């Protein structure tokens, strides 16, 4: 049955499919301590769902197995080459905002929903009457990286993300919890060795030690998860990033073996690779929804994106952006107005 499920997963476009048991992962206690230290920042949903995340039986009573899946989002061959530590991707124009690579596609939750549900239905079919399965793409209350490592899908790197040697770390995770009992695969061992490139690459020192992340200092958290003002002391480190940060991922030497996948190929959004910062400041709510609806960027709403854009322009220091920033400083949304005023001040300091 497991072989048939894995073959079906490959036919649906998944790059890898591995199986583990549905018992609590070994990282459950570490996760509780991480929450207790407040390293999750304002992500209160992690605290609310902590008990479920540390026990798959609370998510699906009677679960016997967890099927873990990988989908590559490597877009171009040059994604394989790690940049110098602490650097940003070179932009064709200085006013272009940097968007994390995973977000340069249509919303992966929606893209992967159909093939994942098709696989879950196949699992129920193979398992026969009474088999129940639940499928998740980055949304379920489970410790997906711990389960994926135990299933042998990859290993958790020192940057706390999953690495699969033949995919690097450019891939999405998905899971199916099922009451069908399947033979578990062998866990993957850690293959980081002495490498610490990801720690050196982090612009804010958010990777405080190997395998330890303080989300409150992570630029992905600050530009996406944080809903309020970005701490002033972290704004300069953002550079021109406006959605997420890839620096620790891009530094990983395992990316040299990564390969592109087929499932996402038709869903690439090239328009998200060259976003003009100044032009973004003119977006109203309707224009924002039209341009970014159906993409990961829609998640942070207009207020979050323009907050980030203002910081990026302040860091870029081009006085030609001042008229647009002055307009943004009068925006009825206080979050945008405050960050626009900060950007104006930064540009003034740069010029003098």
Which residues are part of the catalytic machinery?
A: 138
DSSP 222: I
Q: Which residues contact 289 (CB under 8 A, 6 or more apart)?
A: 298
Residue 325, C-beta contacts closer than 8 angstroms, at least 6 positions apart: 281, 310, 313, 314, 340, 343, 344, 347
Residue 164 has φ and ψ, to the nearest 5°, of -115, 120
Tally Cβ neighbours within 10 Å of residue 329.
18
Task: Output DSSP code: residue 295.
Answer: S
Burial class (CB in 10 A: 0-12, 13-18, 19+), 202: buried
The rounded distance, in Å, linking the Cα atoms of 144 and 42 is 20
- Paired strand residues for 21: 65
Separation of alpha carbons 232 and 332, rounded Å: 21
Number of helices (H) and strands (E) in the chain: give both, helices first. Answer: 15, 11
Q: Cβ atoms within 10 A of the Cβ of 224, count? A: 20
Apex 254 CA angle, 186 and 112, nearest 5: 70
Give SS3 for 50: helix
């Amino acid at each position: 049955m497991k072989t048939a499920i894995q073959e079906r997963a490959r036919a649906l476009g998944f790059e890898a499919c591995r199986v583990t048991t549905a018992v609590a992962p070994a990282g459950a206690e570490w996760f509780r301590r991480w929450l207790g230290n407040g390293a999750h920042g304002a992500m209160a949903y992690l605290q609310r769902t902590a008990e479920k995340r540390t026990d798959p039986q609370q998510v699906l009573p009677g679960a016997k197995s967890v099927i873990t899946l990988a989908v590559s989002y490597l877009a171009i061959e040059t994604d394989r080459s790690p940049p110098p530590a602490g650097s940003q991707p070179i932009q064709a124009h200085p006013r272009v905002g940097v968007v994390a690579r995973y977000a340069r596609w249509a919303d992966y939750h929606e893209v992967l929903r159909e093939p994942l549900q098709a696989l879950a239905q196949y699992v129920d079919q193979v398992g026969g009457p009474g088999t129940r399965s639940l499928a998740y793409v980055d949304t379920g209350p489970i410790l997906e990286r711990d389960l994926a490592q135990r299933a042998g899908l990859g290993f958790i790197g020192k940057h706390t993300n999953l690495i699969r040697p033949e995919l690097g770390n450019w891939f999405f995770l998905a899971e199916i919890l099922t009451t069908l009992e399947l033979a578990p695969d062998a866990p993957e061992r850690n293959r980081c060795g002495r490498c610490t490139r990801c720690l050196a690459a982090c612009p804010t020192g958010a990777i405080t030690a190997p395998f330890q992340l303080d989300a409150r200092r992570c630029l992905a958290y600050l530009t996406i998860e944080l809903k309020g003002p970005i701490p002033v002391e972290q704004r300069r480190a953002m550079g021109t990033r406006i959605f997420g940060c890839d620096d620790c991922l891009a530094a990983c030497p395992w990316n040299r073996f990564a390969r592109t996948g087929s499932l996402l190929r038709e869903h690439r959004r090239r328009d998200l690779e060259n976003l003009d910062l100044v032009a973004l400041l003119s977006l109203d709510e309707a224009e924002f929804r039209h341009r970014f609806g159906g993409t990961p960027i829609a998640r942070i709403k207009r207020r979050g994106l323009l907050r980030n854009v203002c910081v990026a322009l302040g860091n870029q220091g081009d006085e030609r952006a001042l008229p647009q920033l002055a307009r943004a400083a009068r925006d009825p949304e206080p979050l945008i107005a405050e960050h626009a005023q900060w950007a104006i001040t930064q540009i003034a300091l740069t010029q003098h």
